[in-house]
Amino acid sequence: MKAGSFRYERAYTLAEVFRLRREVDGDAQFLAGGQSLLASLAFRLSEPNLIIDISRIPELKGISVLPDAYLRVGALTTHRELAAHPDVRRHAPLLAEAVPLIAHAAIRNRGTIGGSLAFADAAAELPACCVALGARIIAAGPGGERTIPAASFFTGLFATAMAEDELIRAVEFPCAAPGDRGTIVELTRRSGDYAMAGLAVWAQHAASGAQTPRLVYFGVGTGPVAAAEAARALGPAPWTAQKVKAAQALLDRDLDPPADQHGGPEMKRHLARVLLARAVGKLGAEPGARAA
């Protein structure tokens, strides 16, 4: 379980990152919190020639509210910081609710939001939250910055819409409006392990009233999976038992879960139905991740 040999360079600016990336002979990997990268290095699933440590770049840090009512979260924000930050709790409460589900305290202390999204594990919580919340991802590359909607950011198993020489600079979430609410539920063998299946729900509340929620599953596909048909069947709150049942039935159209070490597609479909009922139950029974 020892990593193969590689070189290590620490960058202090984005310009330095792109210079190092351009000059490298062979593969390079960016090191942020390293909580997935070091495991894949240990397994030698990843064998880069160069590790570029981006963890001390000020341009990738900080949390702020933007003039267009988006909450901007720097890529290097750790899970611990995310859950504790008052602006996150107020403007994107779903994220704060999700954090305790991510791995364990020792990993949350070091793992970052940018790292989680860039790694794009299909069973991770934050990618699903980003899609559910309609986030936009700010990618930086040698040619400048571009904005990628979360819905088109995750392109497959451990794959994103970013080019090899791009990295995530920040993630921006629409600030929750009064009445918006959501929750996140998952099923794991051991608390903190990657989910066998999970579901992030976000329901907006417009002037015209409650809206149809976004249902985004994780651990049941090659990335976050939006269950649009089920969401349509569920419709705006209140969610009656009948609506939940109809939505559960339509999940078969939304989801095409591959088998993994936890079980086959049928088990995953079953878990997805269970999670839908649990999420709706949670939203009915308690405030859940309600915007302030």
- Which residues of the shown chain bind another protein in the complex (CB under 8 A)? 1-8, 10, 31, 34-35, 38-39, 41-43, 51, 53, 55, 80, 100, 103-107, 109-110, 190-192
Using the minimum distance from each CB to another protein, give the nearer residue, 115 or 174.
115
- State the angle between helix axes of 265-285 and 241-254 in degrees (0 to 180), rounded to the nearest 10: 150
Q: How far apart are CA 178 and CA 176, in angstroms?
A: 7
Using the minimum distance from each CB to another protein, give the nearer residue, 11 or 14.
11
* Residues whose CB falls within 8 Å of the CB of residue 130, separated by 6 or more in sequence, listed in order: 117, 137, 150, 153, 171, 173, 224
Using the minimum distance from each CB to another protein, give the nearer residue, 1 or 207.
1
CB of 105 to another protein, least distance (A): 6
Q: How far apart are CA 176 and CA 66, in angstroms?
A: 13
CB of 35 to another protein, least distance (A): 5
Q: How far apart are CA 121 and CA 127, in angstroms?
A: 8
Using the minimum distance from each CB to another protein, give the nearer residue, 103 or 128.
103
CB of 30 to another protein, least distance (A): 12
Q: How far apart are CA 138 and CA 70, in angstroms?
A: 12
Using the minimum distance from each CB to another protein, give the nearer residue, 41 or 162.
41
Give DSSP secondary structure letters for 41-62: HHTTS---SEEEE-TT-GGG--
CB of 28 to another protein, least distance (A): 13
Using the minimum distance from each CB to another protein, give the nearer residue, 4 or 284.
4
Q: How far apart are CA 34 and CA 222, in angstroms?
A: 22
CB of 109 to another protein, least distance (A): 4
CB of 124 to another protein, least distance (A): 14
